[in-house]
């Protein structure tokens, strides 16, 4: 990844910070887009951004390109939120917020980054989805729908951008041990591990390793794919 610039959304989160660290270790320069005040991964350039705003995303991408000296080649969309609730009780604003931040921001991000990647004649985009985008999840109609949308967006963008040398893929984690999920009840976390065929949930670094593979030339003939990194949780 030497000489390549990488933009990571949600770089202050559990998966995002692990992705930034892996990319930096591989020699990339990294710009982290996250909310103002969010932690910035060590060694990365922090770019404050409201990912729920198309205008905000465009401005942040321009700032990230400048921080990366115009060498943007990798885009990883890790940012996401949850607002859980049964669908017939879910407030409209909770549906709108999750779709806007998880899915809408990915559209704005792809749109804003495509000109730079086209000029370079190459690029790799990785959208962080979820196995819940394939199987659905009780109490997560908004989240599951947003992640299913990311899968479809990745495949469509792969078709449209492949002729410019730009690859687009998605990574679909299962349950991941992060600061957010550590707050869940112990029985929920145990059940997630029991659902896997490997008998445990993933750490953020294991998701980051898969993303590094898709970001690098090791996957240079891979595009339009949804790679599950779930320990076999979906097939169990």
How much is the pLDDT for 52? 85
pTM of the model: 0.94
126, 170, 198, 234 from 228: Cα distances, Å: 13, 9, 14, 9
Selecting from 3.40.50.2000, 3.40.50.1100, 3.40.50.720, 1.20.140.10, what CATH number does the domain 5-172+223-228 have?
A: 3.40.50.720
User: Which one, of 55, 152, 68, 172, lies nearest residue 117 by Cα?
Assistant: 68
Residue count of the chain: 236
Please report the pLDDT score of residue 218 as a whole number.
97
Cα separation, 75 vs 23, in Å, equals: 11
Active site residue 143: yes
d(CA 84, CA 188): 15
Q: Using pLDDT thresholds of 50, 70 and 90, give the confidence band for residue 193.
A: confident
Average pLDDT over residues 113-140: 95
Q: How many percent of the chain have pLDDT more than 70?
A: 99
Phi then psi for residue 202, to 5 deg, are: -85, 155
Reported as half-sphere exposure (CB side, CA atoms, 13 A), residue 47 has a value of 25
Per the CB < 8 A criterion, the answer to whether 6 and 215 are in contact is: yes
Q: pLDDT tens digits for 128-150?
A: 999 999 999 999 999 999 999 99
3 state SS of 129: coil
pLDDT tens readout for residues 86-99: 999 999 999 999 99
Are 40 and 28 contacting, i.e. CB atoms less than 8 angstroms apart? Answer: no
Which of 29, 65, 103, 143 is catalytic? The answer is: 143
Q: 110 near 164, Cβ under 8 Å?
A: no
Question: SS3 helix, strand, coil % of the chain, rounded to 5?
Answer: 45, 20, 35
> Cα–Cα distance between 66 and 204 in angstroms, integer?
28
The domains of the chain are located at 5-172+223-228
pLDDT of residue 113: 97
Other beta carbons less than 10 A from residue 163's beta carbon: 8
């Amino acid at each position: 990844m030497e000489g390549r610039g990488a933009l990571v959304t949600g770089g202050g989160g559990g998966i995002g910070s692990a992705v930034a660290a892996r990319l930096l270790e591989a020699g990339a320069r990294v710009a982290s887009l996250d909310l103002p005040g969010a932690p910035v991964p060590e060694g990365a350039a922090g770019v404050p951004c409201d990912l729920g705003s198309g205008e905000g995303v465009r401005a942040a991408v321009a700032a990230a390109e400048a921080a990366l000296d115009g060498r943007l080649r990798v885009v990883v969309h890790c940012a996401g939120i949850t607002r859980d609730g049964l669908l017939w009780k879910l407030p409209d604003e909770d549906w709108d917020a999750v779709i806007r931040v998880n899915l809408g921001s990915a559209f704005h991000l792809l749109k804003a980054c495509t000109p730079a990647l086209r000029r370079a004649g190459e690029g790799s985009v990785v959208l962080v989805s979820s196995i819940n985008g394939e199987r659905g999840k009780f109490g997560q109609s908004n989240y599951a729908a947003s992640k299913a949308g990311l899968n479809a967006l990745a495949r469509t963008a792969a078709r449209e951008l492949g002729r410019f040398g730009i690859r687009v893929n998605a990574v679909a984690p299962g349950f991941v041990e992060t600061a957010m999920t550590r707050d869940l009840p112990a029985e929920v976390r145990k059940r997630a591990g029991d659902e896997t065929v490997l008998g445990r949930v993933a750490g953020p670094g294991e998701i980051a390793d898969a993303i590094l593979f898709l970001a690098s030339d090791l996957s240079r003939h891979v595009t339009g794919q949804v790679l599950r990194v779930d320990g076999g949780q979906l097939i169990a």
